[in-house]
Amino acid sequence: FGLKGLRILGRCPLAARGVIMQAKPAPFRSLDMTYREFVRQHNSKFDIQKQNPINRDSVRCGALAYKQGMTTIFTKWGQGLPCTVLQMDRVQVTMVKTAEKYGYDNLQLGVGEMKMKRAKKPQIGHLLKHNLLQSRHLKEFPITPENALPLGYILTPLHFKLGQFVDCKAISKGKGFCGVMKRWNFKGQPATHGVSLAHRSPGSIGQCEFPGKVFKGKKMAGNMGNESACHWSSKVLKYDLEKSLLYVKGPVPGPARGLVWIRDSLKKVDKQWRFLDYPTCTNVDDYPDQDFLPMEEEDPFESGWHDNSIKMGRNQDEDDDYWVDESIADVDLKDE
């Protein structure tokens, strides 16, 4: 992805009709360069210093990603952790909005890649002016002034730390027109005893002459899905810098290859605001290409005590057969 020349047709503040515009080549990744090396080389021109948060109200920028699907990560104890794979495809700061100029502090991020012929002319002018990548999706995130990032900076999965909680927001899958049993989890009508052809119907939806109407907000059949949905407090389990992947525990709304908004969890602010990297992770070279959340030191499936042992008052360290109940072990199976 690099810009060398672009022909603009129609009205454009940067060039007349039919004039070929020569632009400075945008950040380009050669075939013999890994993605991590490309990001390191591109971000080396920015001088970002790590800062301490002012208070719990300090807000960092979020990130954009594409949902790639779900998988399972197994721990050394054999415990399966279902997780969703999110790819942060060249997440770049495309615009910095300050309170002095716009009245609020926001960062506009771009993700993905789009053909130049599909871009709007104002967007092309902004792209050529600031030498930015042509992003497929653009979204804004509110921030506090001390967490602003420079224009053109590329975010990596290390923006989110292992073990922290994030909120994942996306447009849910559209289910079409659904009945009340699927849409609102209604019980439905009995299968027999006088019910005819109304087993999945909602039943009564109102009262009598008073109030003489159906109240607004009544749960009824209608279109389900295809609306904004958020999965709160998903834990970050793993990252992959070479493929720019982020693994979060549990499901994420939306279909595969759908756009996902990621931000620091709003419900876990008091628990993690002191341990995050503000405004973002600056020492990327100190981290390996892949890393996983540290495992538990004790086996989660081994409680250390068995129900039979608790009833018998026996200690695990006293007997190797602590899980065997003597009253059951003495039973002779031949008598049965």
Q: Which residues pair with 70 in a beta bridge?
A: 84
- Identify the sign of the CA torsion 223, 173, 139, 48: positive
Predicted local distance difference test score (pLDDT) of residue 15:
34
Structure tokens at 330: 């003495």
> Is the CB of residue 126 less than 8 Å from the CB of residue 26?
no
Between CA 83 and CA 94 the distance in angstroms is 30
The pLDDT score that the predictor gives to residue 29 is: 56
Strands 290-292 and 106-111: unpaired
Residue 12 in contact with residue 18, Cβ under 8 Å? no
In angstroms, the CA 297 to CA 321 distance is: 23
Q: What is the pLDDT along the chain (336 residues), one digit of tens a residue?
A: 333 333 333 333 333 333 333 444 445 556 678 889 999 999 999 989 888 888 999 999 999 999 999 999 998 888 999 999 999 999 999 999 999 999 999 999 999 988 888 888 988 898 889 989 889 999 999 999 999 999 999 999 999 999 999 999 999 999 999 999 999 999 999 999 999 999 999 999 999 999 999 999 999 999 999 999 999 999 999 999 999 999 999 999 999 999 999 999 999 999 999 999 999 998 888 999 999 998 888 887 776 555 555 545 555 555 555 444 455 445 454 454
Query: What's the pLDDT score for residue 251?
Result: 96
Give the whole-angstrom CA distance, residue 167 versus residue 252: 9
- Distance (Å, whole) CA 111 – CA 53: 27
Report the amino acid identity of residue 82. P
Q: Are 141 and 62 in contact (CB under 8 A)?
A: yes
Residue with tokens 């003495």: 330
Residue 336, pLDDT score: 47
**Structure letter (DSSP) for residue 335:** G
Q: Are 152 and 117 in contact (CB under 8 A)?
A: no
Q: Give me the pLDDT at residue 133, please.
A: 85
Q: What is the pTM of this model?
A: 0.80
- Amino acid 1: pLDDT: 35
